[in-house]
Amino acid sequence: MVSLPPDDMTPVLNRLRRAQGQLGGVIRLIEEGRDCKDVVTQLAALNRALDRAGFAIVSSGMRECLTSPDGISTEDQATMEKLFLTLS
């Protein structure tokens, strides 16, 4: 399977750390009994952050496949396609 270059993962990790903070915020909003609109708005933001992180990971993996001197195996191609479709 495709390995992910650590340099490409730094922004992904930063995004996931922000998402982790957003999740904590959602939990606090619910515990405080905040308005439904506030909770759903924060959940939507968290969802977008996770989606973007996932797409960045798949994108990095696809770049690795395309630039690999050995090319991409049929199995890796199918795996990358499944990963992409999982996020959509």
pLDDT tens for the chain, 88 residues: list them.
667 778 889 999 999 999 999 999 999 999 999 999 999 999 999 999 999 999 998 888 888 777 777 777 788 778 888 888 888 7
CA distance to 13, 23, 46, 70, per residue, from 76 (Å)? 24, 32, 29, 12
How far apart, in whole angstroms, are the C-alpha atoms of residue 21 and residue 33?
Answer: 19
Q: Which of 6, 2, 11 is nearest to 52 (CA)?
A: 11
DSSP H/E element including 85: helix 74-87
**C-alpha angle 27/84/54, rounded to 5°?**
35
